[in-house]
Amino acid sequence: MQAQPFRIQVEQAVLDDLLSRLQRARWTSVIEQGDAAKEIDWTLGTGAAYLQELVNYWRSGYRWREQEARLNELPHFKVRIEEAHLHFVHVKARSDRSLPLLLLHGWPDSFCRYRKVIPKFSAAFDMVVPSLPGFAFTGEVKLASQEQPNRQTAKLLWRLMTEVLGYEQFVVAGGDGGSVIGQILAIDHPESVIGIHLTDLGWHATTIDPATASREEQKYLAAAKKQYMEDSAYAMVQMTRPRSLAAGLNDSPIGLASWIIDRFHSWCDGDIERKFDRDDLLTNVMLYWITQTIGSSMFTYYADMRSPSLTPSNYVAVPVGLALFPKDGAGIPPRSLAERTLNVQRCMEMPRGGHFAALEEPDLYAEEVIAFVEALREWAGDAALDRPPARSLPNSLQSQSDSETRHVR
Amino acid sequence: MSVEPFVIDIPESILDDLHARLTVTRLDPNDSATDWDAGTSPAYLRELLDYWQSDFDWRAQEANINRFAQFRARVDGSTLHFIHERGKGPAPLPLILTHGYPDSFLRFQKLIPLLIDPAAHGGNERDAFDVVVPSLPGYAFSDRPRDVGQLFHIGKLWYKLLHEELGYKKFVAHGGDWGTTVTVNLARSHPSSVIAMHLTDVPFWLTFQKTSNHTPAEEKFLAATQQFQMEEGAYAMIQGTRPQTLADGLNDSPAGLAAWLIEKFQRMSDCDGDIESRFTKDELLANVTLYWVTQTIGSSFLPYYDIGHAGAGTWIAEKMKDLIGSTKVPAAFARFPKEMTHPPREWAERFYDVQRWTDMPRGGHFAAMEEPELLAEDIRVFFRDYRRAH
């Protein structure tokens, strides 16, 4: 298994076709346009005014070739592992004191989730940022076995890190689907995973037996349930009928943008226009469009619904660092909930930010990951990192690098 | 505008644009699955889209639909489209038929002839009906609502259409899917005008009400309803919470629109997995094309939003007391075996004065399309007893 350098090079015909679709976009409004329509912008779904302006920019201001060149400044690779043609960015650290860090994105983002933090990490880490199976340049992976797809993904990533790249041990950081896969990696390969850093507990955390929940946990579970009923229908569709939806999203760029942008709007801390650069949002949408992977990306929900990859009975024994952002999901979960499934060694309540923390609050996010890893390193000693830390770390780990604006949970 | 005749005549430019889009449809090249487990089968979708592009003749469908007498009328400031066909018999009984989602007034295309002219279809001319088939607000050629919350006012629109525009003082009503909700609403709000109603389902949102003392059959039904919502209900959740987000793509992609709509016809009909055992491609595509040319997929989602934001149990129970709960309007239920859920009679009796209960031998959610003869006969028999009240 030899990784080959890879460059993003979208055929001009794909871009021409996209432009012609954008030019003939057929807009609709659920209710007749008028005063009421203005008032309920974003309450019935993606805000029409925002989306149309974004699409105008997509058509006439956005330059894919510039974005492509910018992305190609990163060292991309592809490698065949089993049935997968895994795409990843591999950035070697500037320091010889580096640690390998595997950065895992989720849905509906992409390896670009980490674009802004890569420069911040380059002093400390060798970074590996893959496109998960089903996503972007990795694309759909036909499963040879009946193995649960997320477990299969974790196995592929483990083989990437150890067999292909030769890292015996590494740290994993992730959010959303990346949190789940990071946890599976830690559970299946504690000998390789030194620690994991997460921005959420994974969706299985809310499936604990409610009878065992503390008052604080019950409050959080109720909030999570409310949020699920009000704003998670996208997931229900993707879990049960992804193909009925994928046909339209793969054929209509405005449909695809609307479906994805609605999530960025819902899950960010504040005004989407201030929190995200239009180029970043569109480049993320473009990655789904040009690779035609919206269907395969949604299929990860379908697969996990049929056969959940994690349950509350799974426990991550390697040290876990949490950076919990207030506008992610139903808000910040109680630490006790996290401790049911995770060996929590650092749990920070962040002052602001949402689901796409690495894109939305790159400084806060990067500082937290670095602080967690530094604490791990300090505890273990540079030379000792060839063995995983035991279940319990000293208390000193808790209080390191806490800025005044964030709180230890 | 009083009642004006209406003929469907879709501009050629819209059909040309549709054809142009179909020729460049972009489906995931790596997905050619033939099963329907995860939604509309990509293999079947390709076959259907090929037919839509090459063989489907909208003008023929249009001519076919235009054989019905259609009208538009302005009621309470918005335009309603409807079919109005006079019965052929000594004393036709006025009957309003209300469709649902994801169908349209075309749901009743096969049923109408059987009801207006029973003698020509092996029945008795004394069973003839004057039939009115409106398009729900936001569907087909009726205006789309200017605000949310329209669902619970449709009964009043229907009443005004029948009473003020068409001059019917008393009438009977039939509906399925949203058509059930609207029919019930019409009967509750105008019990002295609605002589009796015939339904193919019990409104699903009644299960949101807090009820007690369930029989074992009701327990089983309520559990099955929950299961249904988990497995099949995602479309209703997304349509009820983020309708605009979903509509953006479906109104821009005929392939996406077809995939989204036909899944329900495969899932909820008595087709044993083979959609074409119940529906021809022409039938499926006439319905899909109707949504496409009228650009109404987004507004067709509004009833889901309205029911979801009515505050479910609380809102319905407290504010709609005059529209739900017990009523004097006699009701009949025709229960088709492949309906989405199967409420027992006692469940319906909690809410309605159930005078007739028919367990049908075959058919599903789209009974009027799947089993028009069975349905027509049940409608004739039930309303026979109420003709003298007319």
pLDDT digits (tens, 9 = 90+) for A355-388: 999 999 999 999 999 999 988 888 766 544 544 4
Handedness of CA B368, B370, B373, B379 (dihedral sign): negative
Handedness of CA B271, B276, B280, B282 (dihedral sign): positive
Query: How many beta-carbon contacts under 8 Å exist across A and B?
Result: 196
Measure the CA–CA gap between A318 and A316, rounded to whole angstroms: 6
Task: Give SS3 for A348.
Answer: strand
Which residues of chain A does B260 touch, with a Cβ-Cβ cutoff of 8 Å? Answer: 244-245, 247-248
Residue A283 pLDDT greater than 90, yes or no: yes
- Report which residue type is found at A25: A
* Span A190-225, pLDDT tens digits: 999 999 999 999 999 999 999 999 999 999 999 999
* Span B25-34, pLDDT tens digits: 999 999 999 9
* pLDDT given at position A399: 39
Measure the CA–CA gap between B108 and B70, rounded to whole angstroms: 13
B253 touches chain A (CB under 8 A): yes
CB contact under 8 A, B38 and A241: yes
Instruction: Please tell me which residue of chain B has the smallest CA distance to A139.
Output: B30
Q: How far off is chain A from B86, nearest CA to CA, in Å?
A: 33
Q: Which of A36, A248, A256 sits opposite B146 (nearest CB)?
A: A36
CB contact under 8 A, A31 and B143: no
User: Is B390 within a domain?
Assistant: no
Which residues of chain A does B245 touch, with a Cβ-Cβ cutoff of 8 Å? Answer: 45-46, 234, 258-259, 262
H helices within A34-172, ranges in order?
35-39, 48-60, 64-72, 118-121, 149-159
Average pLDDT along chain B = 94
* pLDDT given at position B308: 85
Domain of B170, in residue numbers: 4-385
CB contact under 8 A, B263 and A241: yes
Q: How far off is chain B from A295, nearest CA to CA, in Å?
A: 7
CB contact under 8 A, B255 and A248: yes
Q: How far off is chain B from A47, nearest CA to CA, in Å?
A: 8
Return the number of other C-beta atoms located less than 10 Å from residue B62's C-beta. 18
Fold type of domain A1-22+46-409? Rossmann fold (3.40.50)
Q: Which of A29, A248, A302 sits opposite B259 (nearest CB)?
A: A248
* pLDDT given at position A102: 98
Measure the CA–CA gap between B261 and B78, rounded to whole angstroms: 26
Which residues of chain A does B234 touch, with a Cβ-Cβ cutoff of 8 Å? Answer: 233, 236-237, 239-241
Q: Which residue, chain included where needed, has tokens 């505050």?
A: B311
* Span A218-262, pLDDT tens digits: 999 999 999 999 999 999 999 999 999 999 999 999 999 999 999
Handedness of CA A307, B44, B106, B18 (dihedral sign): positive
The residue-averaged pLDDT of B70-81 equals: 97
Q: Strand (E) positions, A264-341?
A: 316-324
* pLDDT given at position B316: 55
Q: With cut-offs at 50, 70 and 90, classify the pLDDT of residue B188.
A: confident
User: Is B116 within a domain?
Assistant: yes
Residue A407 pLDDT greater than 90, yes or no: no
Residues with Cβ within 8 Å of residue B214, at least 6 apart in sequence = B222
Are A259 and A297 in contact by the 8 Å Cβ rule? The answer is no
The residue-averaged pLDDT of B146-160 equals: 92
B31 touches chain A (CB under 8 A): yes
The b-or-e profile of B120-129 (16+ CB within 10 A means b, else e) is eeebeeebbb
B137 touches chain A (CB under 8 A): no
Task: Give SS3 for B357.
Answer: strand
What tokens were used for B271? 């087709």
Chain B interface, best mutation among A27, A239, A244, by max B CB count within 10 A: A244
Instruction: Please tell me which residue of chain B has the smallest CA distance to A34.
Output: B146
Is B291 in the active site?
Answer: no
Measure the CA–CA gap between B219 and B19, rounded to whole angstroms: 50
Q: Strand (E) positions, A190-264?
A: 193-198
Q: How far off is chain B from A230, nearest CA to CA, in Å?
A: 7
Which residues of chain A does B38 touch, with a Cβ-Cβ cutoff of 8 Å? Answer: 240-243, 299, 302
CB contact under 8 A, B252 and A45: no
Between A398 and B131, the more confident residue is B131
pTM of the predicted model as reported, rounded to 2 decimal places: 0.95
Q: Which of A30, A51, A299 sits opposite B298 (nearest CB)?
A: A30
Query: What are the respective helix, strand and coil percentages of chain A, to the nearest 5?
Result: 50, 15, 35
Instruction: Please tell me which residue of chain A has the smallest CA distance to B41.
Output: A243
Which residues of chain A does B40 touch, with a Cβ-Cβ cutoff of 8 Å? Answer: 241, 243-244, 247
Measure the CA–CA gap between B342 and B361, rounded to whole angstroms: 14
Q: With cut-offs at 50, 70 and 90, classify the pLDDT of residue A22.
A: very high
Q: Is the ipTM of this complex over 0.90?
A: yes
Q: Which of A27, A34, A140 sits opposite B30 (nearest CB)?
A: A140
* pLDDT given at position B310: 75
Q: Please tell me the total count of domains within chain B.
A: 1
CB contact under 8 A, B249 and A24: no
Q: What residues pair up with A319 in beta bridges, in sequence order?
A: A343
* pLDDT given at position A404: 39
CB contact under 8 A, B302 and A246: no
Measure the CA–CA gap between A140 and A228, rounded to whole angstroms: 27
User: Is B122 within a domain?
Assistant: yes
* pLDDT given at position A406: 57
Q: Which of B28, B146, B235 sits opposite A241 (nearest CB)?
A: B235
* Span B50-62, pLDDT tens digits: 999 999 999 999 9
Q: With cut-offs at 50, 70 and 90, classify the pLDDT of residue B1.
A: low
* pLDDT given at position B328: 85
Name the active-site residue from B177, B201, B306, B378.
B177
Return the number of other C-beta atoms located less than 10 Å from residue A399's C-beta. 10
CB contact under 8 A, A258 and B297: no
Residue B103 pLDDT greater than 90, yes or no: yes
Q: What is the CATH number of the domain that holds B59?
A: 3.40.50.1820
Beta strands A407-408 and A125-130, pairing class: unpaired
What is each CA distance from B328 to B132, B196, B243, B384, in whole angstroms? 23, 9, 36, 18
* Span B257-287, pLDDT tens digits: 999 999 999 999 999 999 999 999 999 999 9
* pLDDT given at position A382: 55
What tokens were used for B342? 């199967």
Between B303 and A32, the more confident residue is B303
Task: Give SS3 for B35.
Answer: coil
Which residues of chain B does A259 touch, with a Cβ-Cβ cutoff of 8 Å? Answer: 245-246, 248-249
* pLDDT given at position A400: 39
Q: With cut-offs at 50, 70 and 90, classify the pLDDT of residue A34.
A: confident
CB contact under 8 A, B147 and A36: yes
The residue-averaged pLDDT of A10-38 equals: 92
CB contact under 8 A, B234 and A236: yes
CB contact under 8 A, B31 and A243: yes
Q: How far off is chain B from A362, nearest CA to CA, in Å?
A: 28
What tokens were used for A35? 């005063």
What tokens were used for A165? 């790249």
- Report which residue type is found at B240: G
Which residues of chain B does A257 touch, with a Cβ-Cβ cutoff of 8 Å? Answer: 248
Q: Which of B145, B233, B245 sits opposite A262 (nearest CB)?
A: B245
Average pLDDT along chain A = 91
Q: Strand B129-134's sheet: what is its strand order?
A: B4-6, B70-75, B78-85, B129-134, B93-98, B171-175, B194-199, B330-335, B353-359
Name the active-site residue from B127, B352, B365, B378.
B365
* pLDDT given at position B366: 98
Name the active-site residue from B168, B291, B304, B305.
B304
Is B177 in the active site?
Answer: yes
Instruction: Write out the H or E segment, with its range, that includes residue B54.
Output: helix B42-54
The residue-averaged pLDDT of A8-25 equals: 98
- Report which residue type is found at A19: L
pLDDT > 70 in chain A, percent: 91
What is each CA distance from B286 to A52, A73, B61, B290, in whole angstroms? 30, 51, 7, 6
CB contact under 8 A, A236 and B237: yes
* Span B195-237, pLDDT tens digits: 999 999 999 988 887 788 999 999 999 999 999 999 999 999 9
CB contact under 8 A, B252 and A36: no
CB contact under 8 A, B242 and A40: no
CB contact under 8 A, A234 and B242: yes
Between A20 and A394, the more confident residue is A20
CB contact under 8 A, B244 and A30: yes
* Span A144-184, pLDDT tens digits: 677 899 999 999 999 999 999 999 999 999 999 999 999 99
Q: How far off is chain A from B289, nearest CA to CA, in Å?
A: 15
CB contact under 8 A, B252 and A248: yes
- Which range among A94-98, B12-16, B29-33 has the greatest average pLDDT? B12-16
Which residues of chain B does A296 touch, with a Cβ-Cβ cutoff of 8 Å? Answer: 28, 30-31
Residue B319 pLDDT greater than 70, yes or no: no
Domain coordinates in residue numbering, chain A: 1-22+46-409
* pLDDT given at position A204: 94
Q: Which of B42, B251, B255 sits opposite A26 (nearest CB)?
A: B251
Which residues of chain B does A299 touch, with a Cβ-Cβ cutoff of 8 Å? Answer: 38
Instruction: Write out the H or E segment, with its range, that includes residue A231.
Output: helix A215-231
**B73 φψ region: left (φ > 0), alpha (ψ -120 to 50), beta (else):** beta
